Amino acid sequence: MKRNMTARLIEWKNRSDRKPLLLTGVRQCGKTYTILEFGKNEFEDTAYYNFEEDGTLASAFDHDYRIDRILDELGNIRRGKQIVPGKTLLILDEIQMCPRAVTSLKYFCENQPDLHVIAAGSLLGVAIGQQNISFPVGKVNRMRMYPMSFDEFVCADGGEALINGLNRIEPEREIPELYSVPLIRYLKLYYVIGGMPEVVKKWVETHRMDAITEKQDEILQDYADDFGKHAPVSELPKIRMIWESIPSQLAKDNHKFIFSHVKSGCRAKELENAVKWLVDAGLIYQVYLVEKPEIPLSGEADYSSYKVYMADSGLLCRRSNVFYRTILDGDDRFIHYKGALSENYVLSQMKSLNINVWYWTSSANAEVDFLTDEGGLLYPVEVKAADNTKAKSLKLFCERYQPERAFRTSLRNVGMNQSGETQVWSIPLYSLFRLRKYLMTD
């Protein structure tokens, strides 16, 4: 189901400078399923090992880092079958449970470069972030996996013809109702269901909302259990408070993360480690402020001021206790929070496209939801929940900084108008997976 990730894995497989792949991503986003399918389809053999399920596997890495010995013990001794470079895909899952296995990736890179190795783990980002692992800097390729994107969701639910057809339409052409009407319905469903593969699978199998909410509740409970099992004891209460505060934080007008809204009188310094834990676990995203949008944006970011979003729109909807009919049928009283859901959705789609994102504010309270500097060019992105595309902040930004191209994403159809020196493109929310077609990267 993860079409986009599979394409990236095939690209990694064929790289001439390939190194062991370190795959991170939020729990239950489909990492194991995807890499096992990749192994089945792209290799003669797959050798799969899970350090969480079998604690004895770590003993293969205890003695030394001789790769020939490790492969002999994992292959011939463990499974009775040799691991053959060029034919076998070696998967080391939940590798954060064995720090020496993480370190061994350096030696796989140096001493067995022709072997395809993928190391994955739900809390690998946390383990690396806590710096209790000797990390093989420069010896691995890194890839992050996200929940299923909107186009993947549509394809999984039988709408592949819609996605393929839309991809064949020229970027500048208005999208016919033949596509827009069903895709708007799919968009509303995606807001509710999200992109967690097990939730999507449940929807495809049943098309029942009660089954969806039950599966989402299971995932959210698993996340809460992870806090107790894996978070530092000193940070646990703070992590839980931050996690509980995210829906209300997003409901604020500018969505900026306010520490005092987590707990009255709380300061940034007291909570920053807890925020980092949630980011490293892949559960939330931080989008940092840029007041002076100069390239590269990373050099101008204010890392003390940021907005926080959830990794999956469906889980955000569930945690916010939004009744699914409110979204599917429409409700004017919900329009304010619908803006927060739309913004969270747009960020998640840009993340799935591997586009780095910041946001901008001015001293006059103008704000552009997202900025990116893909290809060394500046692009502002304004998000609207419906088809009202009036965006004073975007207009101010374009007048002040004159980017070559800017984007408004809403339910309005494709279109372009000129604002001074800037081309301002309208891209429908349901077509955002085509965003790279509009970037001036050639």
> DSSP states of 367-404 as a string?
EEEEEE-GGG--EEEEE-SSS----HHHHHHHHHH--S
- At 323, give phi and psi (nearest 5°): -70, 135
Q: Is 1's pLDDT higher than 80?
A: no
What is the mean predicted confidence (pLDDT) over 209-219? 96
Residues 50 and 65 placed together within one structural domain of the fold: yes
Cα–Cα distance between 140 and 127 in angstroms, integer?
16
Last residue of a domain, one of 121, 145, 169: 145
Residues 314 and 411 placed together within one structural domain of the fold: yes
Report the range out of 136-150, 333-347, 378-392 with the highest average pLDDT: 136-150
What is the mean predicted confidence (pLDDT) over 39-65? 95
Per-residue confidence at 64, pLDDT binned at 50, 70, 90?
A: very high
Residues 180 and 139 placed together within one structural domain of the fold: no
pLDDT at 438: 95
What is the mean predicted confidence (pLDDT) over 101-128? 91
Residues 107 and 11 placed together within one structural domain of the fold: yes
Cα–Cα distance between 86 and 115 in angstroms, integer?
6
Per-residue confidence at 322, pLDDT binned at 50, 70, 90?
A: confident
Look at the chain and report how many structural domains it folds into.
2
Lowest mean pLDDT: which of 147-151, 259-263, 297-301? 259-263
User: By residue range, what is the domain housing residue 430?
Assistant: 150-438
Q: Tell me the C-alpha to C-alpha distance, in Å, between residue 238 and each of 267, 274, 323.
A: 12, 6, 28
- At 141, give phi and psi (nearest 5°): -90, 140
Neighbours of 56 (CB within 10 A): 8
Residues 121 and 256 placed together within one structural domain of the fold: no
Q: Are 91 and 48 in contact (CB under 8 A)?
A: yes
pLDDT at 129: 62
Residues 428 and 328 placed together within one structural domain of the fold: yes
Last residue of a domain, one of 112, 129, 145: 145
Peptide bond into 296 cis (omega under 30): yes
Residues 62 and 184 placed together within one structural domain of the fold: no
Q: What is the mean pLDDT of the chain?
A: 90
pLDDT at 288: 94
Per-residue confidence at 253, pLDDT binned at 50, 70, 90?
A: low
pLDDT digits (tens, 9 = 90+) for 169-209: 999 999 999 999 999 999 999 999 999 999 999 999 999 99
Residues 414 and 432 placed together within one structural domain of the fold: yes
Residues 116 and 198 placed together within one structural domain of the fold: no
* CATH code of residue 39: 3.40.50.300
What is the b/e burial string over 301-314, where b = at least 16 CB atoms within 10 angstroms of the residue's CB? beeeebbbbbbbbb
Residues 141 and 158 placed together within one structural domain of the fold: no
pLDDT at 324: 83
What DSSP element (H or E) covers 32? helix 31-42
Residues 111 and 157 placed together within one structural domain of the fold: no
pLDDT digits (tens, 9 = 90+) for 386-437: 766 567 899 999 999 999 999 999 999 999 999 889 999 999 999 999 999 9
Q: Is 148's pLDDT higher than 60?
A: yes
- % of the chain exceeding 90 in pLDDT: 70
Last residue of a domain, one of 83, 116, 145: 145
Residues 430 and 295 placed together within one structural domain of the fold: yes
Q: Is 233's pLDDT higher than 70?
A: yes
Q: Is 325's pLDDT higher than 70?
A: yes
Cα–Cα distance between 214 and 306 in angstroms, integer?
32
Per-residue confidence at 270, pLDDT binned at 50, 70, 90?
A: confident
21 beta partners: 118, 141
Per-residue confidence at 132, pLDDT binned at 50, 70, 90?
A: low
pLDDT at 259: 60
